């Protein structure tokens, strides 16, 4: 089994490469950068060089015998020493899993909840609070967010990267807004692709299988010595979706089988020995049968494109980095086509990030940053244009107190200003002035203490406050009464961000005698001002006397849990992992308090409390064998049935996947993967039962 609770087990040598209440109205933004400027002045007074440009992951992995990361603090460090709970899934793990999508990989990570609603529809949550269009998880690709702020969700199957070009997937658990940015409240999925400056990836893959699955991908790299590199990738899939099962006649009729195509280009150049440039562009076009945020099942049509530029310079005042990108998305939810503008929303996201990373003496590393973002959504669902601008400042300080002890502290302040041009829905009680004078300023922080009393033992004590901002739909959805039913639906300019507090203790233990590493984690989390999107809120009577569904803060909730696991490998080619995760959530909200359910998010029962993940694998010469298993206890899901929202208890189940791969030559590999081979149809959600699937792939690696 390739995917365990954390990183590859090794015996580490000690090294310096290691891990180190909001207002309702707008406040002035001029004060935010002052702390940043003060720290920059200190950095100019006492500085020493630090390198954190496009790093050579392969060289560092070979040197230290384990995966490395630079995402947490900005400087390269061993993954086991990072001041966060991080799991790294390597390219070897991805290949051995037989996964054709990122959610397929994540479902075998302890503490991660994956709901499969269709062949190309999945929701991913970390440590509770999973729901349709889960808004609590930040997903990044090489530093660019692929989380969409319109509905507050991630379209996993249109992320424009191929499985073969992913170097590693970093799963960071718990709120990490101050370290990773906007909306990293339950965790972060950080996808890192191979760098064309260091890695020549040339591969082509064809896949075919049950459900009329047909897919493929191609990746090619061109390099000019060590000065420049360019990687191109493209891929796509087409399949027949699962049989509708117990879906209503309307939901079944509105579903279409998935058809997806993606393209990505990644260029990197070393302009001088100290200056590097990155240019990226991507496109994706998808038709996906999915579960909507209101509990109904339908089809989503989307077109996405992005452009990103980043320049990094190693200077006497530190490593300066400027990262800028634009995401554009046109999405239609419903059986209509994209030409039907009344059913479509266009989202534009512009982000500019600037940072400076510098060492102050031998034991202190400081990173300061400024960020500007502009998000807008235009279309029939908002009856105009809704958007916001955010200015954020951040400071991180990593202090190596002694060879055994380090502490990392990070602070981020976000100032959000809302704007709207359009016509508020009749009866909402809101005016244009209410929208255009709204906003908030809110702070997040992360603190991590890492203690290594011996080369085999690592303790991490972490405290954090994360921030979940309302989505653009939460702020500005406008649907008049009669369009979808008797009630009007409206966003709320006064909705507050959700604040997530987290306290966690981790312990890692290396067991060299059996080539294994173990981890134990316990955490407690407090969620204040939980956000209910408009379709899920309890109805109220509007100013004109008509029923009104209004985005709102609905109360608070608590989550606590633990994770235990071990993974290892032997010199004979056998590898194994076993983990257990437990999470219990208790909410105190106004959701579903009456005799009729109104929200598809019942936080108390929304995820399984108990999950066991296990696996065993074997490699011998050209042969790879892997068996993966997941057992989870029951949980509560919801389905929109006709005119009511129906709670559905999903019973406990066992999922067994298996893969066999054989390398025919140094170039060609064939593999067969069977998912859910223990049962032909399995109720994993309130949606269509998941069907057993078998996929055969042929890969050529040049």
Q: What angle do CA 561, 580, 507 make, to 5 degrees?
A: 70
Q: How far apart are CA 202 and CA 87, in angstroms?
A: 27
Q: How many CB atoms lie within 10 A of CB 429?
A: 16
**pLDDT score at 343:** 61
**pTM of the predicted model as reported, rounded to 2 decimal places:** 0.91
348 and 330 Cβ atoms separated by less than 8 Å: no
Q: Which 8-state DSSP code applies to residue 195?
A: P
Q: How far apart are CA 258 and CA 86, in angstroms?
A: 32
Q: How far apart are CA 36 and CA 397, in angstroms?
A: 12
**pLDDT score at 682:** 96
Q: How far apart are CA 152 and CA 186, in angstroms?
A: 14
**pLDDT score at 426:** 85
3 state SS of 35: helix
**pLDDT score at 15:** 39
**pLDDT score at 594:** 67
**pLDDT score at 54:** 66
Residue-averaged pLDDT of the chain: 88
**Which residues 6+ apart lie within 8 Å of 198 measured at CB?**
54, 56, 57, 58, 59, 229
Measure Cα distances from 340 to 297, 335, 483 in Å: 19, 10, 15
3 state SS of 60: helix
Helix then strand count (H, E) for the chain reads 8, 41
Q: How far apart are CA 107 and CA 115, in angstroms?
A: 9
**Which residues 6+ apart lie within 8 Å of 249 measured at CB?**
none
**pLDDT score at 429:** 87
Q: How many residues are given for the chain?
A: 702
Q: How far apart are CA 460 and CA 450, in angstroms?
A: 5
Nearest to 219 by CA among 179, 176, 162, 268: 162
50-89 per-position pLDDT tens digit: 444 567 787 777 777 778 898 888 888 888 889 999 999 9
Measure Cα distances from 361 to 43, 317, 664 in Å: 10, 13, 53
Q: How far apart are CA 356 and CA 290, in angstroms?
A: 41
Q: How far apart are CA 351 and CA 372, in angstroms?
A: 6
DSSP for 392-458?
EEEEEEEEEEETTEEEEEEEEEEEEEEEEEE-PPTTS---HHHHHTBEEEEEEEEEEEEEEEETTEE
DSSP for 331-395?
EEESSS-TT-GGGEEEEEEEEEEEEEEEEETTTEEEEEEEEEEEEEEEETTTTEEEEEEEEEEEE
List of the chain residues with pLDDT < 70: 1-54, 335-343, 484, 594-597
454 and 188 Cβ atoms separated by less than 8 Å: no
What domains sit in the chain, N to C, each tagged with a CATH number? 33-601 (2.40.170.20)
184 and 175 Cβ atoms separated by less than 8 Å: yes
320-369 per-position pLDDT tens digit: 999 999 999 998 877 543 333 346 789 999 999 999 999 998 899 999 99
Q: Which 8-state DSSP code applies to residue 683?
A: -
Q: How far apart are CA 556 and CA 501, in angstroms?
A: 11
186-236 per-position pLDDT tens digit: 999 999 999 999 999 999 999 999 999 999 999 999 999 889 999 999 999
């Amino acid at each position: 089994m390739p995917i365990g609770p954390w990183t590859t087990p090794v015996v580490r040598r000690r090294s310096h490469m290691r891990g180190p209440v909001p207002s309702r109205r707008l406040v002035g933004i001029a004060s935010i950068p002052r702390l940043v400027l003060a720290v920059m002045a200190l950095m100019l007074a006492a500085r020493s060089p630090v390198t954190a440009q496009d790093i050579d992951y392969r060289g560092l992995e070979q040197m230290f015998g384990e995966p490395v990361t630079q995402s947490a603090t900005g400087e390269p460090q061993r993954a086991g020493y990072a001041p966060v709970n991080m799991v790294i899934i390597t390219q070897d793990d991805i290949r051995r899993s037989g996964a054709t999508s990122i959610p397929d990989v994540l479902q075998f990570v302890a503490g991660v909840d994956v709901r499969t609603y269709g062949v190309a529809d999945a929701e991913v949550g970390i440590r509770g609070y999973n729901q349709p269009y889960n808004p609590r998880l930040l997903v990044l690709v090489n530093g660019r967010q692929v989380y969409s702020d319109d509905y507050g969700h991630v379209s996993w199957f249109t992320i424009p990267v191929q499985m073969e070009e992913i170097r590693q997937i970093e799963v960071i658990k718990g709120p990490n807004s101050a370290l990773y940015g906007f909306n990293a409240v339950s965790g972060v999925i950080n996808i890192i692709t191979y760098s064309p400056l260091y890695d020549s990836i040339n591969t082509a893959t064809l896949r075919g299988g049950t459900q009329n699955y047909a897919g493929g991908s191609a990746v090619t790299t061109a390099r000019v010595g060590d000065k420049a590199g360019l990687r191109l990738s493209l891929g796509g899939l087409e399949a027949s979706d699962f049989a509708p099962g117990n879906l209503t006649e309307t939901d079944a009729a509105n579903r279409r089988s998935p058809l997806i195509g993606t393209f990505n280009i990644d260029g990197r150049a070393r302009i001088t020995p100290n200056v590097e440039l990155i240019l990226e562009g991507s496109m994706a076009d998808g038709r996906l049968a999915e579960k909507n945020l209101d509990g109904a099942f339908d089809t989503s049509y989307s077109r996405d494109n992005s452009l990103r530029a980043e320049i990094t310079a190693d200077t006497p005042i530190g490593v300066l980095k400027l990262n800028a990108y634009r995401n554009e998305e046109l999405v239609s939810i419903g059986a209509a086509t994209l030409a039907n503008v009344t059913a479509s929303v266009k989202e534009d996201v512009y982000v500019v990030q600037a940072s400076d990373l510098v060492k102050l003496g031998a034991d202190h590393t400081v990173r300061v940053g400024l960020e500007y973002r502009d998000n807008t959504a235009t279309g029939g669902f908002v009856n105009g244009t809704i958007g916001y601008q955010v200015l954020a400042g951040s400071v991180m300080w990593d202090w190596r107190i002694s060879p055994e002890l380090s502490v990392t502290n990070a602070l981020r302040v976000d100032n959000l200003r809302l704007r709207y041009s359009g016509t508020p829905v009749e009866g909402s009680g809101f005016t244009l002035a209410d929208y255009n004078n709204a906003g908030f300023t809110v702070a997040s922080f992360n603190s991590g203490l890492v203690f290594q009393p011996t080369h085999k033992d690592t303790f991490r004590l972490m405290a954090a406050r994360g921030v979940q901002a309302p989505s653009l739909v939460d702020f500005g959805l406008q649907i008049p009464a009669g369009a979808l039913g008797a009630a009007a639906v409206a966003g709320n300019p006064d909705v507050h961000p959700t604040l997530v507090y987290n306290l966690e203790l981790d312990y890692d233990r290396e067991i060299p005698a059996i080539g294994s590493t173990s981890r134990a984690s316990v955490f407690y989390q407090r969620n204040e001002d939980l956000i209910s999107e408009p379709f899920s809120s309890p109805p109220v009577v509007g100013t004109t006397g008509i029923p009104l569904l209004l985005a709102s803060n609905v109360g608070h909730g608590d989550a606590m849990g633990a994770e235990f696991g071990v993974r290892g490998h032997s010199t004979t080619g056998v590898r194994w992992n076993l983990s257990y995760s437990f999470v219990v959530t208790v909410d105190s909200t106004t959701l579903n308090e009456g005799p009729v359910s109104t929200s598809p998010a019942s936080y108390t029962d929304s995820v399984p409390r108990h999950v066991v993940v296990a696996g065993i694998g074997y490699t011998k010469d050209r042969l790879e064998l892997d068996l993966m298993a997941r057992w989870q206890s029951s949980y509560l899901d919801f389905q929109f049935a006709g005119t009511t929202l129906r709670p559905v208890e999903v019973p406990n189940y066992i999922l067994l996947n298996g893969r066999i791969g054989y390398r025919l030559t140094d170039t060609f590999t064939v593999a067969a993967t069977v998912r859910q081979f223990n049962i032909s149809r399995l109720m994993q959600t309130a949606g269509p039962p998941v069907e057993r699937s078998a996929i055969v792939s042929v890969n050529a690696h040049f």
